[in-house]
Amino acid sequence: MFFLRFACRHFDTSTSQSISYVVPGRRRNSLPAATGFTLVELLVVIAIIGVLIGLLLPAVQQAREAARRMQCVNNMKQIGLAVHSFHDTFNGLPPATTGNTGVTLWAVLMPYMEQGNVYGQLDIEAPGGVDACTNASHIGASAAAAASANYSVLRNTVIGGYLCPSRRSAAEGKNSKGVPVGDYAIVIAGTEKWQFWKNPSSQLQALRVAQTSDDKNLIAISNSPVTDAIDNPNGGWRPRDTLARITDGTSNTMIVGEKHITAGFLGLCCRADRGPNGSDGYLYWNRSNGPGGYGEYWVAGSVNYGLARSPNEGVGLSVNSSPALGSWHPGACNFLFADGSVQALAVNVNSNVLISLGGANEGNVVSLP
Amino acid sequence: MKSIYPMQHSSFLKSALRMFALASLLACAAGCGGSSMHPVIGHVHFTDGSPLKTGRVMLDGGDANTSSWGLIHPDGSFQVGTLDVDDGVPAGVYRVYIENAMSLPPDNWGDRDFTPKLLIHPKFMDPEQSGLSFEVPGKSTPWEIVVEKPPKSR
């Protein structure tokens, strides 16, 4: 109040001074006409503008998130097209992984994601990386050399289409170990949440492990010293299933979803036990003993543990007891279905519905409205 | 003359401020007063008092026929949310059951085989047989769920 009074007085004196200076002697006859706006009028206008901006800004932010979600859906749609292109080329669904030590779906789909140049440099039958289990004494010298060559190519291959813009940009597509990460997860509906390459007959989801003539790709290769190598375990792999296996209907079966990453653990990898920072690992390589983590959590997620409702889901819990699927979009998580469509599921979807949608041929047919 | 103008301005400002405050109060009453979510927290333990260390407490039903759940922490505690991890549930009577109460591999288990075991009696996993129900709101203290160990096979 004092400030206002002071301001008005100041205004008056300055006006009278300026008038008396320009037209001396007329001060008494003409009123000091209010040629400008008063301070209060200006304040009111500024306040109105402020309120309008305050109303508008959240709407702008929501529009930006809606655009990012749309781009995220589009990425999944492209993955769906890639899966169908693969099916047309090889007469079978792309594998979730080529084997225990093999590369994942995300490397197999590269030629159909406009990454043919990278794919051309790979030996797709070899592992995607090197560790204690993919050296010459375990998988043979030539496969180990090919794995090493694959790793040097793949570790620099960040694909924007595998990242959800609501979560991160392509510039942030590598984790703390310096290897590419992804935001989408292969839907797993088997009873096992980890080691989904093992025992394919127990796996109910659409995308299963690849097939080889001798099933060497299903053998658990452990860290321990071995006497004789399982030579090139994923050599000669081919698709295990066709779309015909999806008897629940391709529109009722999810194949890829959004991977849940607990807030605060984004881009962090990896830990020997199964804390939440195990899930943002290496995108192209399925290996339980990958660069210090657990391969399945990097590339896949089980429907048996529900959907994460917010980025805070799973704080303080093992990844074995918290949801593996979930998005950072508010209230919904997008899923790619086997028919190529992408649909959003509410985060509080009934767990039986989620499990039924994950299974390809278990007989529980659930249609989304 | 000069002393009157500022007074008029300030009284105008005062009334404008008062109107604004009233309007914002009304807007807040309309916007924030509609929340009908009630917090549900609790603890799951066995009859001997030891906590159930993992799993998911499911709440189905209620007035809005929703499905809410809360993850069980290693100390047996849980907090139920519907659209977020801690936003509570709408009012109503809920069927309560427990999912995924399977044993976890110990830390540093490595990539060896692990076969999870069921930790609770299977009846607690069935909403029709669990015998558990929550009426929300109606309780200010944390909920206590007492579960039984699975029956010994043979």
Shortest CA distance from B126: residue in chain A: A352
pLDDT at A368: 81
Residue of A111, A353, A369 lying closest to A254 (CA atoms) = A353
- Could you tell me which residues come within 8 angstroms of residue A332 by beta carbon, excluding any fewer than 6 positions away? A344, A345, A346, A347
Q: Which of A45-49, A196-200, B132-136 has the lowest mean pLDDT?
A: A196-200
Nearest to A309 among B66, B85, B114 (CB): B85
pLDDT at A217: 85
Q: Model pTM greater than 0.90?
A: no
CA–CA min distance A154, chain B (Å)? 24
CA A220 from centroid of its chain's CA atoms: 28
Residue with tokens 């079978």: A92
Cβ within 8 Å, pair A39-B9? yes
| Residues on chain A touching B56 (C-beta within 8 angstroms) | 305-306
What is the tens place of the pLDDT at every residue in B90-109? 888 999 999 888 887 776 66
Residue A197 corresponds to which tokens in the numbers above?
Answer: 């390459």
What is the tens place of the pLDDT at every residue in A198-234? 788 888 999 999 999 888 888 877 766 777 778 888 8
Separation CA A80–CA A250 (nearest Å): 12
pLDDT at A1 > cutoff 50: no
pLDDT at B3: 46
Please provide residue A53's backbone torsions phi and psi, each rounded to the nearest 5 degrees.
-65, -40
Residue of B86, B89, B65 lying closest to B77 (CA atoms) = B86
pLDDT at A336: 96
Residue window 101-120, chain B: list those with CB within 8 Å of chain A. 104-105, 107-114
pLDDT at B8: 52
Name the residue with higher pLDDT: A280 or A168. A168
Between the alpha carbon of residue A187 and those of residues A197, A206, A268, B115, the distances in Å are: 13, 8, 22, 21
Average pLDDT of chain A to the nearest whole number? 84
- Could you tell me which residues come within 8 angstroms of residue B150 by beta carbon, excluding any fewer than 6 positions away? B118, B119, B120, B121, B122
**Helix residue ranges, H only, A209-331:** 295-299
Shortest CA distance from A195: residue in chain B: B111
Cβ within 8 Å, pair B10-A1? yes
| Residues on chain B touching A313 (C-beta within 8 angstroms) | 71, 85
Residue A74 corresponds to which tokens in the numbers above?
Answer: 């589009």
CA–CA min distance B85, chain A (Å)? 6
Cβ within 8 Å, pair B111-A195? yes
Separation CA A51–CA A53 (nearest Å): 5
Separation CA A354–CA A342 (nearest Å): 15
Residue with tokens 């300030």: B10
State the DSSP H helix or E strand holding residue B133, giving kind and residue range, or none if neither. Answer: strand B132-136
Portion of chain A with pLDDT greater than 90, in percent: 45
Name the residue with higher pLDDT: A255 or B38. A255
The pLDDT of A314-341, averaged and rounded, is 88
E-assigned strands of chain A? 184-188, 254-258, 300-302, 332-337, 342-346
pLDDT at A17 > cutoff 50: no
Q: Does A364 touch chain B (CB under 8 A)?
A: no
Between the alpha carbon of residue A234 and those of residues A16, A112, A148, A231, the distances in Å are: 94, 21, 15, 9
Q: What is the DSSP letter of A176?
A: T
Asked if B9 and A4 touch (Cβ cutoff 8 Å), the reply is: yes
The pLDDT of A339-367, averaged and rounded, is 90
pLDDT at A194: 66
| Residues on chain B touching A11 (C-beta within 8 angstroms) | none
Cβ within 8 Å, pair B2-A220? no
- The model's confidence at residue B17, banded by pLDDT at 50, 70 and 90, is low
